[in-house]
Structure 1
Amino acid sequence: MIKDFEILFIASFLIFFSCQNRKSNNKAEKSSSGIELKSEDSSTKDSGIVISTTTNKDGSSLKCTFNNSLGTCMLELNGERIELKQERMASGIKYSNEHFVYTNWHGETKLYKDGKLIFSDSK
């Protein structure tokens, strides 16, 4: 009787934890900054790649592909592709190159080109 109970307990334990580890495709999450993060494939999330799209009040969309393993970000705004390198921040995120600066702090996304604000999505 005790052996049957042990087998039942182990089988229940394995089934419970194996079901929780399944990953679904096209899973959407909210980051701590309030941006919706979409992982198109479980392999992208495992590789450190996070894809998010932000739309501002004017209807412009900014697609961001973050490669956390390499510390890079690829932005797409109005058909223009922009590659940026990550900078260290105490709070929020910041990516930049010689012409562009992208920041996100407390859900407020900003993109500057040569010091001029070209995209803002304040919540």
Structure 2
Amino acid sequence: MKRLLQWQVAFGMGAVLIALPFGIPALVSAAIGAGVCLLANWVFALRVFRKYRAQQPGELVMQIYGAEIIKIVLILGLFSVAFATIEDLNLPALLGTYFAVQVLPALFASRPDPGPTN
């Protein structure tokens, strides 16, 4: 999970830099999209793995479901605040960055380390 979050931070920073030439509204929107995604996933990871015990798989499933509900509520709440408080919100930049940071790092984090093979 730590590796995935690291990839998400890298993709989030990259997405914000890509939005830079498109003006301040796109830059702010991309930063909000990346920030919401990163915060929600960090909260999810903290809720699930803080008290993780492999001996209790049933409890782990309940922690995952609970953390996912909290994550969804957090995302909806933060996006609602952004829409209510920021006039020039760029919807494609906001949602595009959110989805890019959410989905693309999983493709890279799931790849095996290119370490030495014996």
Q: TM-score, normalised by structure 2?
A: 0.21
> Which structure is higher in helix share?
2
Larger C-alpha radius of gyration, 1 or 2?
1
> Which structure is higher in strand share?
1
